Amino acid sequence: MRILLILIIIAAVFVVVQAQRHGCKYDATLISCVFGSSEEQPAAEAPADAEMPASEAPAEAPAQ
């Protein structure tokens, strides 16, 4: 009985730690986010292949 309780506590700690590392939300998608079986990126990270939005043109240097 003690071993079962220890395994449950270890699993709970693992889920909490991984959820914090991945930036998961504590809702119905928690387990899929923790184990990485979801195709979606975690909310805390931006996709690596996303393009940055075009910035405004740089200001011109003052004439000297």
- Amino acid in position 28: A
Global pTM value: 0.49
Residue span of the structural domain in which 16 resides = 2-35
Domain assignment present for 26: yes
Domain assignment present for 63: no
Domain assignment present for 60: no
Domain assignment present for 64: no
Using an 8 Å Cβ cutoff, are 19 and 30 in contact? yes
Domain assignment present for 24: yes
Per-residue pLDDT of the chain (64 residues; tens, 9 = 90+): 999 999 999 999 998 898 888 888 888 888 888 887 645 555 555 555 555 555 555 566 666 6
Using an 8 Å Cβ cutoff, are 42 and 22 in contact? yes
Domain count, the chain: 1
